[in-house]
Amino acid sequence: MIARVRVSPGVPIAALRVLAEAGLESDVGPLDAAAANALLCLLTDRIDVRFLESARHLRIVANMAVGTDNIDLAAAARLGIAVSNTPDVLTDATADLTFALLLAAARRLVWADRYVRGGGFVGWSPDVGIGLDVTGRTLGIVGSGRIGRAVAERARGFRMEVLFHSRSGGTPLFELLARSDFISLHVPLTSETRQLIGAPELARMKKTAVLVNTARGPIVDEAALVAALRAGQIAAAGLDVFEHEPALAAGLRDLPQVVLAPHVGSATIATRDRMAEVAAANIVAALRGQPIPNRVA
C-alpha cells in the first residue's frame, strides 16, 4: 500500500517538496483521518480523541508548530499514533517578535504611528509620547525553555536583569511578578499553565509593569487582564495570542496601552518554510519506520 499523507491547507509548499523527494504521495485538503497514514497539520487543527479514534491507518500527526496543545497527546499515545512538533527552527523568530512587542508596548509605538498618520505631530514637544524605559530594567521570563532563553539573550543587549521561572527552578513566580518591569510568558499551554496569570498574579505586578504573551492565549485570564489594565494595576501589554483566538476579550481592542498581533511569532518566510520542512521530515521518518526526530508522543 502506498503511504498517503494528508496536508492541511496553508502549509508551505516546502513540505510538499520534502514529501515528494521521499517518494511519498501527498494531497492538500481538509484533514480526513480515515484515509491517511500521516497528517501534516496546523495549530488551528483540533486533533481530539474522536478524530484520532476514527483514524484507522494513521501512524503520525506532524504538527507544524512547537506547541501541541491542539492535539490530544494522551489519546494519541494510547492509540499508538506518533505526534511530532517543530522546535528550534522558530525560536529566533518568536523571540524577535516577543522583543518587538515588548519595545512597542513600552515605547507606545502603535500610538505613535497613529499619531503621526492622524496629523497630530505638529512639532517636537517634551511631553508627547512618553513611554517606559527598557534598558537596564528587569525582565521576568516565565518558562525558561528555548524561546524564553532566546528572549533573555536579546535582553542582555539592553543590559536588563533577567529573572527566570519554571517548574525546575528559578525565581518563585510571585517573587518574579513583583520584581519585574517586564514579564514575558514562554510556557506551553497545559492543564497546569491554563490561566497561570489571573487576577491574583496581575495584582502582584508593578503598576508600571508590561506583560508580553507570545506563548498561548489561555495562559492569561484575558478578562482579568482587561480589568487590570483599565484599573491601572499594570501599565501595558503586548499580545500575540488570545484566550479565545481569534476573538478578543470584551474591551481589549479599546485599550490604547495594548499592542496586538495576530499570532505571528514565527511568521517569517524562512521560518515558516523550515517549520514545514521539519514537519514533513518527521512524517518521512515515521513512515520509513525510523526514529522520529521531533516526537512528543
Give the binding site for ligand NAP (CB under 6 A).
66-67, 87, 90, 94, 143-148, 166-168, 186-190, 192-193, 214-216, 240-241, 263, 265-266
Per CB under 6 A, 67 contacts ligand GLV: yes
Q: Which of 84, 75, 25 is nearest to 285 (CA)?
A: 84
Per CB under 6 A, 271 contacts ligand GLV: no
Residues forming the active site: 216, 245, 263
Q: Which of ligand NAP, ligand GLV, none lies near 212, with the C-beta cut-off 5 to 8 A by kind?
A: none
Q: Which of ligand GLV, ligand NAP, none lies near 248, with the C-beta cut-off 5 to 8 A by kind?
A: none
Angle between helices 91-106 and 109-117 (to 10 degrees): 60
Beta carbon nearer to ligand GLV, 138 or 268: 268
The terminus-to-terminus CA distance of the chain in angstroms comes to 25
Cα separation, 267 vs 255, whole angstroms:
25
Beta carbon nearer to ligand NAP, 5 or 90: 90
- Beta bridge partners, 163, equal 140
Q: Name the minimum Å distance from CB 70 to ligand NAP.
A: 10
Cα separation, 257 vs 177, whole angstroms:
19
Stretch near ligand GLV under the rule CB under 6 A, chosen from 59-67, 142-150, 153-161, 283-291: 59-67
Beta carbon nearer to ligand NAP, 23 or 262: 262
The string of DSSP codes covering 222-283 is HHHHHHHHHTTSS-EEEES--TBTTB--TTGGG-TTEEE--S-TT-SHHHHHHHHHHHHHHH
Q: Which of ligand GLV, ligand NAP, none lies near 259, with the C-beta cut-off 5 to 8 A by kind?
A: none
* Structure-block grid coordinates of residue 247: 476573538
Stretch near ligand GLV under the rule CB under 6 A, chosen from 60-68, 106-114, 230-238, 286-294: 60-68
Q: Name the minimum Å distance from CB 47 to ligand GLV.
A: 14
Q: Which of 278, 188, 201 is nearest to 234 (CA)?
A: 201
Per CB under 6 A, 90 contacts ligand GLV: yes
Q: Which of ligand GLV, ligand NAP, none lies near 59, with the C-beta cut-off 5 to 8 A by kind?
A: none
B/e letters for 160-182, b = 16+ CB within 10 Å, e = fewer, are: bebbbbbeeebbebeebbebbbb
Query: Per CB under 6 A, which of residues 236..265 are in contact with ligand GLV?
Result: 265
Q: Name the minimum Å distance from CB 79 to ligand NAP.
A: 23
Neighbours of 184 (CB within 10 A): 28
- Beta bridge partners, 238, equal 212, 259
Beta carbon nearer to ligand NAP, 127 or 192: 192
* Structure-block grid coordinates of residue 56: 484507522
Residues 6+ apart with CB under 8 A from 35: 4, 6, 57
Interacting residue with ligand GLV among 66, 101, 209, 248 (CB under 6 A)? 66
Beta carbon nearer to ligand NAP, 5 or 142: 142
Cα separation, 187 vs 104, whole angstroms:
22
Q: Name the minimum Å distance from CB 106 to ligand GLV.
A: 23
**Which residues in this chain contact ligand GLV in the complex, by CB under 6 A?**
43, 65-67, 90, 265-266
